[in-house]
Amino acid sequence: MTTMPATPLLQVQGLRTVFETRAGRVFAVDGVDVTVNPGECLGVVGESGSGKSVTFSSVMGLVRAPGRIASGSIRFEGRDLRALSPPDMRKIRGRDIAMTMQDALTALNPALTVGEQILEVLYAHDETLPEGRIMARRRAARAKAVEMLELVGIASAGDRLQYYPHEFSGGMRQRIMIAIALACRPKLLIADEPTTALDVTIQAQVLELIADIRVRLGMSVVLITHDLGVVSEYCDRVMVMYAGQVVEEGPTASVIQNPQHPYTRGLLQSIPRLSLRGQKIKPIEGQVPDLIDLPPQCRFYSRCSERLDACMNRIDMRELGDKRRARCIRLPEVKA
Amino acid sequence: MSENSNTPLITVENLVKHYGGRRGPISWATGKPPINIRALNGVSFEVRRGETLGLIGESGCGKSTLGRALLRLHEPTSGKVVFDGTEVTALKPDALKAMRRHMQIIFQDPYASLNPRRTVADIIGLPLMLHGLAANRREMRDKVAAIMDKVGLKTNHLDRYPHQFSGGQRQRIGIARALISNPQFIVCDEPVSALDVSIQAQIIELLTGLKRDMGLTYLFVSHDISVIGYLSDRVAVMYLGEIVEMGPVETVLSNPRHPYTQSLMSAVPDVDHPGKHQRVRLTGDLPSPQSPPPGCKFHTRCPLATDLCRVEAPPRHDLGDGHTASCHLIDDNVSILR
């Protein structure tokens, strides 16, 4: 870290999350550093299996056996989350850091009304609710739940509290999940592919909503996506992941206009565009490598058109200046 | 194959597909009218020889139903489909089966559309056996190997099973199966939607290359405007079972005239020019095709809707150069983009 703007809200260093499988050890996340500053929106892009969801499940303490965090530190407002006891972690999860899942239909409990699911979070975490008097507490929580549903743009929210998840459309369910995540005004919202299952017009509604609430509540957002268009429109900074590692990182506009890592370049060239009609798009040949017992080499080696023999060695992230970093030996390192 | 690029290969007239609508035990017992999903409400268009017609719309708009109704994989409720002079909708089962040799489909989900208990050779070779295009298994395997090579699969993987392949490779298997009977027309039903960006680009390149080499005609169904814009010649925009706008892809996408197309275009995030275009936020969701709104189907979400739109379905306006749009406000030349 050369430049340190303020104290980061979330700082992950050297995170390794492994899954022990019968076939061998899978390094789903292998040495990932993440910094999220207060109020910023960080985009995390990568294809399936790149480790983007596992990285943030690790942050939330949601990795279950056979997966485990092998090493690394996760600091939130300076506190080491890995050192916290499960009850202490539970106090942070949902209150200070909230996460919305990709598939709202499976993430919501089908047997509970959405009202019950929002109230659950409030009862667990909200200290402003009146203590002791049950009816007053319930009334206050209900009022808050209605307020949250209204915040995410659900009409006649008071009545809708009694509805079950299946009575809502896909876009509405995603918004309900956002309402649950935001119920305690978290400092950090991790949105895992919030719009992947949605149509473009609904996607625009949900993303505008997150952007709008982010400004109003002054929270930080991590937007996990595979869509570079979404990153380009909504994120301040972007982190590109490939096969469990971060390969490039920097301010969004600068990374997209001037990608440095061959993978980022390939990804940008792979996007079909109307303006490219008649020209060939250049797909990245080959496939993501199997993550079981990988050699220490550059993980993009097998697909890279610019590979060198030296790429067979271990490759570290390099500082490129202007807050940019990338993991490629062809790039000249800038000493701060 | 392409004698005259102006004669349509496929003509669709007033195609209607309703699902359900029949009285079953539940509707008898409850006394409620049976559920009737109006997936296609009178769709008419042509697909020209050698072109790629892009079909775009949101989930539930009927675009996949349309692709399948063309091949009679789903039996249309009414309307006419004419393929190369033959009325497909009037064919008897045997004749239809023979016809399918010339019209094939590639499915969206490369996991669900391949039989997990069959080898690749059997999956890809099945159309050859069905249509009697191979005399024996030996010839079938040779032909399968040839097509596998063409779609970029290793020919020594002939006896593998689908689970031994990645998503992109499985989609190649689906493509090989569609191509092996040497068809003229292929419905591509969201063939790249389930794939990662880098793999998606490989499949798009493959499909455009095959089209060029084999003189194919595509109906390319997708919800992704950038994919449609990249590979289509003409585009049709669907909303709730109707085509609301249609025309050459450059014209429609750079100068959309229907408010729905306009909002669709403005909703797509742009990698290269973030924040360039002004967003039109459509409120609400797609209405249920069970009870579509009267008048213009889009009026419940259209920011420009007038009283006329609420009662009367708009006519199709010809805007010249093959560009058509169905909207009452076309003559006023209004736009929801400011």
Check whether B5 has a pLDDT greater than 60. no
B271 and A169 in contact by Cβ < 8 A? no
Q: What is the DSSP string of B56-109?
A: E--TTSSHHHHHHHHTTSS--SEEEEEETTEEGGG--HHHHHHHHTTEEEE-S-
| Residue A44, H or E segment | strand A41-45
3 state SS of A166: helix
- What φ, ψ does residue B265 adopt, rounded to 5°? -65, -40
Chain A touched by B282 (CB under 8 Å): yes
Q: Give contacts of A269 with chain B, Cβ < 8 Å.
A: 201
Q: Give contacts of B264 with chain A, Cβ < 8 Å.
A: 200-201
Closest Cα of chain B to A170: distance in Å?
9
Check whether A2 has a pLDDT greater than 60. no
B253, B229 in Cβ contact below 8 A? yes
Check whether A202 has a pLDDT greater than 60. yes
What's the pLDDT at A335? Answer: 63
- For A249-304, write each residue's pLDDT tens digit: 999 999 999 999 999 999 998 888 777 777 778 888 888 888 887 778 899 998 99
Whole-complex ipTM: 0.79
For A240-265, give one letter per residue: b (16+ CB within 10 A) or e.
bbbbbbbbbbbebebbbeebbbbbbb
Q: For residues A188-194, give the mean pLDDT.
A: 93
**How far is Cα B325 from Cα B259, in angstroms, rounded to an integer?**
10
Q: How many CB atoms lie within 10 A of CB B250?
A: 14
Q: Give contacts of A267 with chain B, Cβ < 8 Å.
A: 197-198
Helical H runs in chain B?
25-30, 63-70, 93-100, 120-130, 137-150, 167-179, 197-214, 225-231, 249-254, 259-267, 307-311
Residue A275, C-beta contacts closer than 8 angstroms, at least 6 positions apart: none
Tokens (6 digits) for B254: 């750079």
What is the set of domains in chain A, with CATH numbers? 10-96+221-333 (3.40.50.300)
The highest-confidence range among B189-198, B215-224, B324-333, by mean pLDDT, is B215-224
Chain A touched by B288 (CB under 8 Å): no
Residues in chain B: 338
A/B interface, count of CB pairs below 8 Å:
122
Tokens (6 digits) for B52: 């790629």
Check whether B2 has a pLDDT greater than 50. no
B106, B170 in Cβ contact below 8 A? no
Check whether A172 has a pLDDT greater than 80. yes
A200 and B275 in contact by Cβ < 8 A? no
Q: Give contacts of A48 with chain B, Cβ < 8 Å.
A: 196
3 state SS of B37: strand
Nearest-CB residue to A233 (from B168, B225, B274):
B274
Closest Cα of chain A to B308: distance in Å?
25
B230 and A276 in contact by Cβ < 8 A? yes
Chain A touched by B278 (CB under 8 Å): no
Check whether B331 has a pLDDT greater than 80. no
Instruction: Give one word for A225, left, alpha or beta, with left for phi > 0 and alpha for psi -120 to 50.
Output: beta
Q: Which residue of B has its CA nearest to A155?
A: B284
Instruction: Output A317 or B283, whichever has higher pLDDT.
Output: A317
For B47-62, give one letter per residue: b (16+ CB within 10 A) or e.
bbbbbbbbbbbbebbb
A205 and B263 in contact by Cβ < 8 A? no
Nearest-CB residue to B198 (from A202, A267, A272):
A267
Check whether B290 has a pLDDT greater than 50. yes
What's the pLDDT at B267? Answer: 85
Q: Which residue of A has its CA nearest to B281?
A: A205
Chain B touched by A45 (CB under 8 Å): no
Closest Cα of chain A to B203: distance in Å?
9
Residue B21 confidence class, pLDDT cut points 50, 70, 90: confident
Chain B touched by A234 (CB under 8 Å): yes
Residue B1 confidence class, pLDDT cut points 50, 70, 90: very low
Chain B touched by A278 (CB under 8 Å): no
A183: exposed, middle or buried (Cβ count in 10 Å: 0-12, 13-18, 19+)? buried
Residue carrying the six token digits 């459309």: A169
3 state SS of B41: strand
**How far is Cα A52 from Cα A45, in angstroms, rounded to an integer?**
7
Q: Give contacts of A242 with chain B, Cβ < 8 Å.
A: none
B249 and A227 in contact by Cβ < 8 A? no
CA-to-CA separations, B8 to A204, A327, B12, B91, B98, in angstroms, rounded: 37, 52, 10, 19, 21
Residues pairing with B220 in the sheet: B54, B188
Quick one: what percent of chain A has pLDDT higher than 90?
51
Residues pairing with A190 in the sheet: A99, A222
- For B178-201, write each residue's pLDDT tens digit: 999 999 999 999 999 888 888 899
A229 and B205 in contact by Cβ < 8 A? no
Q: Give contacts of A52 with chain B, Cβ < 8 Å.
A: none
What's the pLDDT at B277? Answer: 62
B281 and A205 in contact by Cβ < 8 A? yes
3 state SS of A212: helix
Pairing of strands A318-321, A324-326: antiparallel
A204 and B205 in contact by Cβ < 8 A? no
Chain A touched by B142 (CB under 8 Å): no
What's the pLDDT at B285? Answer: 74
Model-level pTM? 0.85
A13, A77 in Cβ contact below 8 A? no
CA-to-CA separations, B47 to A183, A308, B245, B250, in angstroms, rounded: 51, 48, 15, 17
What's the pLDDT at B337? Answer: 63
- For B251-275, write each residue's pLDDT tens digit: 999 889 999 999 888 888 888 887 7
Q: For residues A162-188, give the mean pLDDT.
A: 89
A270 and B230 in contact by Cβ < 8 A? no
